[in-house]
Amino acid sequence: MKNAFSHATYLLTVFLLLILSPQHTPLFATPEIPSNIVWLTNDQDPLFSDDTAQKGGLFRSAVFTFPLTFRTVGPDSNSGFRDAILGNQLGLIGIHPNTEKIIPELATSWAFDPDKKTMYFKLDPRAVWSDGKPVTADDFTFTLEFMRSPHIVAPWYNDYYTQEIDKVIIYDDHTLAVVAKKAQPDLHLRVGINPTPRHFYGVLGPDFVTQYNWRIEPNTGPYQMSDFEKGKKVTFKRKKDWWARDNRYFKNRFNVDRVVYEVVRDMTVMWEYFKKGKIDTFGITMPKYWHTKTQIPLFENGYAEKIWFFNDTQQSAQGLWLNQDKEIFKERNLRYAFAHAMNIEKVIEQVLRNDFYRLEHGFVGYGRYSNPSVKARRFDIDQVARDMKASGWDRGPDGIYVKNGNRFSVEVTYSIDEHTERLVVLKEEAKKAGIELNLQKLDVSAAYKKVMEKNHDVAWMGWSTSLRPQYWEHFHSINAHKPQTNNITNTDDPEMDKLIDDYRDSLDEEKRIALSLKIQEKIHEIGCFVPTFMVPYVREASYRWWRLPKVPGTKMSGSLFDPFGSTTGGLFWYDKARHEETQAAMKEGKTFPPVTIVDRTYEPK
Amino acid sequence: MKIDPATLKKIKRFQSIKRGYYSLIAISLFIVLSLFAELFINSRALLVRYDGRYYFPTYGEMIPGRVFGFDYDYETNYRELQKRFREAPSDDWALMPLVPYNPYENDLRQDDYPPFPPSFTEKHFLGTDTIGRDILSRLLYGFRTAILFSLALLFATYGVGISLGCLMGYLGGRFDLVFQRVIEIWTNVPVLYVIIIISSILVPNAMILLLIMAFFGWTSITWIMRTATYKEKTREYVLALKALGASDARIIFKHILPNTLSIIVTFAPFALSSGIVALTSLDYLGFGLPAPTPSWGELLQQGWSNMDAWWIASAVISAMILTLLTVTFVGEAVREAFDPKLFTTYE
């Protein structure tokens, strides 16, 4: 019965596809592009690549684990390696990493509809998939079909492409419109979707997940995976005649010929690989690496160089999140006291070698959306004493505050081993201030579960960032007092709700910015989040034949040696002459002056 | 108390095995030392004389700094107090323990970063770990945790193992058969993985860890005790006891148990050392006791990831070798002293 039914649906789908797909439909009149729109493009923003960059070379990098699949959606696809694959998939439009303005990718020009829901695009006629097939407007329709399909087993994408994107309208093979479900500011961040190759996937079936585990999807970016050995390595090859190689913002980028990712399962071993020259660069942001581990002949002889590059990008909201559903944190004074008992400055100065910066609030680095006047509460034992006294608490026999037999003793849940040394210092300092921290290190998923079920006292964690601050998830009462939401502080404040609702409903940028600043003040006033550290930079080690532009990165660069990624990737290049020179010098024992570059172009003031 | 001449003979024999005998003295000394660790290694002063009054801060409630004329309400920093007394001559003085650091406090400095190498002037005799905590202090307190933990584990597993093993061997029949199968299944559970899984979900405090490990650790001694009891049960003296009308409890406790004692005693030291190793390896892997409990495994982990700070790894490795070696020597000597071949003949 079930079989017959699904067979019937299948036939019906095929039939509908036949009559609905544009090539076969004389049934409907072709939609018309409205005449009142203005086509825009962007060929004026500054370049960030270097025109002396040369093509060529082999770039060797390492990953901790071999990806479990090459799919970018569905089960097991959310691994770090996914970035390498998606980094070679272009969208309709991109964002300039320094000006944050729209720049062309697959679309050469675009236009906004006054309804603030629709955006029109003209595709680059030269755009082709890696298998030579042209990119057409239909590939964007297919993205919606693909992402909404139950067969991809990706509920988040299913939901996103249903709730956020309404439809794709095709005007001709190279003109289309993407319509969002509701009017919104920053529409371009929602509707600049990626194409999906219909000719590659055809009709999706229930076996999608297994069928496409190890198939290499055609892409539109500068590289394509050419070769892989399961469990060992993956090779990407540069497309010699890539269709977009002369585009303004892609010129002089994506220079190396081949990129090899090898699996090295351990950080310490990876560092040995780098020292042996088996991989070309190594991230040395961690103080231990930058200060101590790089004091070796490799750097002293100048064969490898160190670079410290300040970026200026959205900072993760890292810190201590207080659960206001717990009795102890229901009172605001106690939350304030807790914040004043955290000696973050001492940790930064004496454990983190002054390399980290104090995070002032949860939304730093969002440009005009960030409120520079909000400052985190500093360590202050006297202030703790005043706050506690005001609520009627006194120090008990062991120095910890007590009231009616309750001790100010809270559990801090965390999951990263390296953070233990920061927490034990905080614990000792908090004890002086009269607050006891019990450190509870859980495995990542156990910690996540505990926090998501709102069973924590204090969660030590950080959130990933997006281009604009997101408040609703974290601070709206609609998400409070129930499991599996991101409001892990259980913030429930009518005034806050009002601000957040206004922020979400507003389409006017100025008004949104004003509201954003106000919300950040309000969060500070509630005091449910104690911000800790930010790392507004990246530090890398590389062999001296790897070259970078004069300004080595962009405001948004998370890594200087990221070979892919249309926004910030592929700025470096291989210098053959220097490679040969260095190799000869290594053999003869000749040395170069050691090089440490510190680039402060985008350093936070 | 009268000691059975056979036992006396065994003790004598044990004493004559010098290596084992001195090891026993050494390990007992370590244990006693660690039980009173607060008197030797602690940030609290042993004795303070201030304004004509005497204070004994070691045990008891914390004394806020205000009591000694500081301007804070948290625990007095006795090292500073001692320094202050020395700088301004008066009748006041403070007597500090040998190592004036507790295992939790971070001795951090301006413009220099831990781990700090061993230093006699700073009284960090074995240096500090990566967050400035005194290694000697953490070693001794860690030893206390480890040895008390394995002793508790020993009592728990032997308690269960001996009673169950005795019953199995003595009762035999269906009871024996059922528990044999249970043990066979039990021994096939990969204990380390189970502990890792459980402690990644629960907070692994000492009690829980002890329960889990005892839960899976009772099988081997049960097996041994079952065999031993079986053997004893068939011997003539038991038959004679039965003929005389002795109760089962009397036979087991008064006669069979003392006769199997040598087996229990022989295995105990080895069980003790395996308990220490198990706890240390769990801590090393990060699934043991929660931070910041002083533990050898955690020190070992630090030593491994900071090879250039040689004093961390070498201190904890030497301590481990020393402890395990002494325990093993004791075990060997006990085994030799209790060797039945010396005193009994088989028919």
Mean pLDDT, residues B51-70 taken together: 90
Output the pLDDT for position A158: 92
The answer to whether A399 faces chain B, any CB pair under 8 Å, is: yes
Tokens of A27: 């049934």
Tokens of A199: 């000719």
The answer to whether A385 faces chain B, any CB pair under 8 Å, is: yes
Residues in chain B: 347
Find the range with the poorest average confidence among A169-183, A552-566, B282-296. B282-296
- Contact between residue A490 and residue A340 where contact means Cβ atoms under 8 Å apart: no
Distance CA A221, CA A105 (A): 10
Reported as a pLDDT band with limits 50, 70 and 90, residue A8 is very low
Q: Kindly list the residues from chain B whose CB atom is less than 8 angstroms away from the CB atom of residue A432.
A: 72, 74-75
Distance CA A598, CA B182 (A): 65
Name all domains of chain B by residue range, CATH numbers in brackets.
Answer: 5-36+136-342 (1.10.3720.10), 43-96 (no CATH)
- Contact between residue A237 and residue A59 where contact means Cβ atoms under 8 Å apart: no
The answer to whether B234 faces chain A, any CB pair under 8 Å, is: no
Q: For B24-35, how does the pLDDT look when each residue is reduced to its tens digit (9 = 90+)?
A: 999 999 999 999
Output the pLDDT for position B283: 87
CATH number for region A319-534: 3.10.105.10
Task: Give the residue on B whose Cα is nearest the Cα of A415.
Answer: B200
Mean pLDDT, residues B214-243 taken together: 91
Distance CA B278, CA B297 (A): 9
Q: Kindly list the residues from chain B whose CB atom is less than 8 angstroms away from the CB atom of residue A425.
A: 106, 108, 131
* Element spanning A542, H or E: strand A537-543
Q: Greater confidence, B345 or A52?
A: A52
Task: Give the residue on B whose Cα is nearest the Cα of A295.
Answer: B308
**Contact (CB<8Å) B106/A424:** yes
Nearest to B290 by CA among B200, B210, B205: B205
DSSP for B34-51, written as a single string: HHTHHHHB-SS-SEEEET
Q: Greater confidence, A117 or B342?
A: A117
Output the pLDDT for position A2: 41
Q: So where are chain A's domains?
A: 1-30, 33-53+68-211, 264-312+536-599, 319-534
Residue A402 has pLDDT above 80, yes or no: yes
The answer to whether A446 faces chain B, any CB pair under 8 Å, is: yes
The answer to whether A423 faces chain B, any CB pair under 8 Å, is: yes
**Which of A14-28, A432-446, A549-563, B289-303 tops mean pLDDT?**
A549-563
Tokens of A317: 């909201």
- Of the partner residues A291, A351, A440, the one whose CB lies closest to the CB of residue B131: A351
Q: Kindly list the residues from chain B whose CB atom is less than 8 angstroms away from the CB atom of residue A427.
A: 292
Output the pLDDT for position B133: 92
Output the pLDDT for position A19: 41
- Contact between residue B302 and residue B312 where contact means Cβ atoms under 8 Å apart: yes
CA angle, A203 then A162 then A219, to 5°? 50
Mean pLDDT, residues B299-309 taken together: 86
Mean pLDDT, residues A581-587 taken together: 95
Residue A538 has pLDDT above 50, yes or no: yes
Residue B89 has pLDDT above 90, yes or no: no
The answer to whether B190 faces chain A, any CB pair under 8 Å, is: no
Sign of CA dihedral A238, A240, A244, A249: positive
Q: Tell me the one-letter amino acid at A148.
A: R
Looking at CA atoms only, how far is residue B100 from chain A in angstroms?
A: 16
Distance CA A541, CA A274 (A): 9
Output the pLDDT for position B339: 77
Output the pLDDT for position A16: 40
Q: Greater confidence, A61 or A293?
A: A61
Reported as a pLDDT band with limits 50, 70 and 90, residue B206 is confident
Reported as a pLDDT band with limits 50, 70 and 90, residue B340 is low
Residue A26 has pLDDT above 60, yes or no: no
Q: Cis peptide leading into B115, omega within 30 of 0?
A: yes
Sign of CA dihedral A579, A585, A586, A588: positive
The answer to whether A433 faces chain B, any CB pair under 8 Å, is: yes
Q: For A51-74, how does the pLDDT look when each residue is reduced to its tens digit (9 = 90+)?
A: 999 999 999 999 988 998 999 998
Sign of CA dihedral A165, A37, A192, A92: positive
Q: For A502-533, how does the pLDDT look when each residue is reduced to its tens digit (9 = 90+)?
A: 998 888 889 999 999 999 999 999 999 999 99
Reported as a pLDDT band with limits 50, 70 and 90, residue A25 is very low
- Domain A33-53+68-211 fold is Dipeptide-binding Protein; domain 1 (3.90.76)
Give Rg (Cα) of chain B: 26
Q: For A425-482, how does the pLDDT look when each residue is reduced to its tens digit (9 = 90+)?
A: 999 999 999 999 999 888 777 888 889 889 999 999 999 888 899 999 999 999 999 8
Average pLDDT of chain A is 90
Say if residue A357 is exposed, middle or buried (CB neighbours under 10 Å; 0-12, 13-18, 19+): middle
Q: Which residue has the tokens 């067969």?
A: A151
**Contact (CB<8Å) A432/B74:** yes
Mean pLDDT, residues A277-305 taken together: 92
Interface test with B, best of A290, A393, A442 (most B CBs within 10 A): A442
The answer to whether B332 faces chain A, any CB pair under 8 Å, is: no
